[in-house]
Amino acid sequence: MKFLHSILLSGAALSALGTAPAMAQSAAAPAEAADSGNEIIVTAQKRAQNLQDVPISMEVVSGERIADFAAADFKAVQNYVPNVFVQQTNGNDTIYIRGFGSPPQNFSFDQAVSVYMDGVYAGKMRQTLNPFFDVARVEVMRGPQGALYGKNTPAGAVSVVSAGPTSSFQGGVTGTYNFDLQGYDLTGYVSGPVTDTLSLRVATRIQNQEGYIKNLATGRDDPRNKLQLFRVSALWEPTDGFDLSAKVEISNYERVGGLGVSSPADTTQRPKLVRYTEEYPLGREGYVNRSVLGSVNANLEVGDHTLTSITGYSWFNGSVTNYFDQMTPTATPTIVENSVGNKYPENFHQFSQELRLLSPTGGTLEYVVGAYYDTARYNVNPYLYYNVLAFDLVSLNQTYFHQNSRTLSAFGQATLRPVDGVRIIGSLRYTNTHKDATFSGKLLSGQIFRGLTSAKGAIKEDLVDPSITVQYDLSRDVMVYAVYGRGSKSGGFVSNTFGTTDATFVYKPERSRNWEAGIKSTLWDGRATLNLSVYDTKFSNLQTSGYDPDLLTYITKNAASATAQGIEGSLRIAPSRNFDITASAAYQDIKYDRYPDAPCLAGMTGASCVLDGYRLPYTSKFTGNVAVHGRVDFSDYKLDGTAVLGGRSGFFNSDDQSPMYGYQRGFAKLDLRVQFGPQDDRWHIAVIGKNLTDKLTTGSAFRLPAPITTATRSILFVEPPRNIAVEAGVKF
């Protein structure tokens, strides 16, 4: 709490750095920013509210901004949202908020940052590989959201709201050609009424783009992306007091090739855009995923109350195949004859049901109460292939993991207005979770290289997540708030680590506690917003998983505790309808409070180490962005431009926190869009540049040790370099 006190005293000096809603404001409606009646409406608290009235540190990125920069996944937008990071690997991608997330190495982890697609919980990243498709907005909420969002949100939540059917007929087609990735991205939609009470929207996306890393073994550029997405949405409004919306999305995604390139293990990172990867015997390297996501949302007025039902179904079937770069990172590269590969086939089914009752607004007491249920089945059956010449050993193994889960929860939130301008918000959620799982292994061919074991387990948990918020309007345009909240993430099982036994199979649930205070202000007759928040977040039994190159295995366990403290803020100024600037930034200090018997970091020795006081991987002290939007009118036409500069300070992106191969230095990346078209937006042409600073950065790294390789080296997962595209679109 001393930290919070000192930050509050210095907040005025730091507020110009900004974060949170500023990006929402400029992204959502830059042309209307000077209108004092302009509001950004969000549903973070299960009601439609003005963003400036919501006592949460959050960002909102509009569908327009996402479409402007052809963002398809979370990695593409992290530069626009401070204190959010996406770790990219050949296996799973993971979202981190304020430094906390669920590492990708253990495939069965529920995510500490959960994603909600039109209100449907998606705890696996495979459920939302391409979430930013025909969306209205994306709401990013920092800190525990355990009360209203509930399941597995100890670090934060992301709510993706797709575009819905419209009351009038409209449609559009947009085509983008990327010169550097030598491929296209086509999107289109048609929306409008079918009858007086029924409206439909049909949207699709087709993408086919080459990669940016030359694979000398195959002669192609890795990774090549192919994507087909189709969504149909319906809205039925038979009476004034009832409406029902339904959405079904089908996706087929294929990535050919990998992201990993060799780099020295005894120097700082030296990512290159060339690799040598043969594809044998597990099939073609890359990733395929087919998924279905469906939801039915119904709202019924019961007197002055509203009863809401959200029914969801999610399924995916996918497989990722990885081979490691066999080229030595030397002045005269040679091909290492040893080869290692793995393949992770996955299958997942989930059904969920939520019921909520909302009271009317405007009274002394408002409330929302509800219940939630879901059930899921998950399978991952990895293959692991070794060809180690030093041992004259060839080995092909497979493990089998199957998990069943069931969750029941009840929740409520009440808002009390004891006097004008004061709101006291109390929330509580109770969650009961059952899980059971089995693990086994089998030698398919060759010799045994890793021990084959089996395990079986079951868990039953009862978790309670409360929160209390005090909110006060200093004036019509200035609001301050203070929050205490808790969040939790269920325990689980080690899914894909050779040598797993009953003793190491189960890990405990993790808990979070968060203190937060903030101010949200609207200034200059609506032409400016200034928001600031400070926080102190503590995790206990933090679930961790990392690769130990000396033991040649992943280690999944609970760290004792970790704490993050920081400040976030935003400043947006829109002096006219044709010009606005947004500055967003965040600073945080994060470390393990207590982590005994931990996997040793680079340079440490011993079977286990103590990491008390050490910084967590994948966390930067500073993150931020500046967005500038401007428009020039020419009679019936306009020239519109948006530039976004986003960056972060250096961070460890290897599990063992090597200061050499495992450290990504600080960087800034510039995205730019320039668009020309008529005032009525019937058509447009645009040029889009991404990463114009051409910073070659890495999402993660690890050391590939002997005897797996005859030349010890690191493997870096390289992010896209500079790429430029041209876009044309028409609306009707």
pLDDT in tens, 214-234: 999 999 999 999 999 999 999
Q: Is pLDDT at 30 greater than 70 in this prediction?
A: no
Could you give the CA distance from residue 121 to residue 112 in angstroms, rounded to a whole number? 12
Contacts of 392 (CB under 8 A, 6+ apart): none
Instruction: Report in angstroms the alpha-carbon separations of 10 from 5, 120, 143.
Output: 9, 40, 22
Contacts of 644 (CB under 8 A, 6+ apart): 69, 79, 80, 625, 626, 627, 670, 671, 672
Range of the domain at 569: 2-326+345-694+703-731
Indicate the SS3 state at residue 55. Answer: coil
Residues 539-553 have a mean pLDDT of 80
Residues 288-294 have a mean pLDDT of 93
Q: Is pLDDT at 80 greater than 80 in this prediction?
A: no
What is the tens place of the pLDDT at every residue in 336-356?
777 788 999 999 999 999 999
Split into its structural domains, the chain has a count of 1
- Beta-ladder partners of 705: none
Residues 702-713 have a mean pLDDT of 81
Residue 339 falls inside a structural domain: no
Residue 340 falls inside a structural domain: no
Query: Interior CA angle at 394 toward 391 and 397, to 5°?
Result: 125
- As a dihedral over the C-alpha atoms of residue 708, residue 712, residue 716, residue 721, rounded to 10 degrees, the angle is -130
Indicate the SS3 state at residue 500. Answer: coil
**Backbone phi and psi for residue 606, each to the nearest 5 degrees, phi listed first:** 115, 165
Residue 397 falls inside a structural domain: yes
Indicate the SS3 state at residue 661. Answer: coil
Residue 336 falls inside a structural domain: no
Residues 588-614 have a mean pLDDT of 89
Residue 440 falls inside a structural domain: yes
Out of 99-113, 126-140, 142-156, the most confident range is 99-113
Closest CA to 663 of 655, 652, 671, 676: 652
CATH of the domain at 209: 2.40.170.20
Out of 28-42, 568-582, 596-610, the most confident range is 568-582
Closest CA to 105 of 525, 682, 498, 694: 498
Residues 535-540 have a mean pLDDT of 96
Give the model's pLDDT for residue 143. Answer: 86
Q: How remote is the C-alpha of 639 from its chain's centroid?
A: 33
Residue 427 falls inside a structural domain: yes
Count how many residues are written for the chain: 732
- Beta-ladder partners of 533: 518, 568
Phi/psi-derived region of residue 550, left when phi > 0, alpha when psi is between -120 and 50, beta in every other case: alpha
Give the model's pLDDT for residue 730. Answer: 97
Q: Which of 35-49, 146-160, 272-286, 542-556 has the lowest mean pLDDT?
A: 35-49
Contacts of 476 (CB under 8 A, 6+ apart): none
Residue 334 falls inside a structural domain: no
Q: Are 97 and 275 in contact (CB under 8 A)?
A: no
Give the model's pLDDT for residue 639. Answer: 96
Token pair 């981190």 in the structure block, residue: 96
What is the tens place of the pLDDT at every residue in 368-382?
999 999 999 999 999
What does the mean pLDDT of the chain come to? 88
Residue 18 falls inside a structural domain: yes
Q: Indicate the pTM of the whole model.
A: 0.88
Could you give the CA distance from residue 507 to residue 498 in angstroms, rounded to a whole number? 16
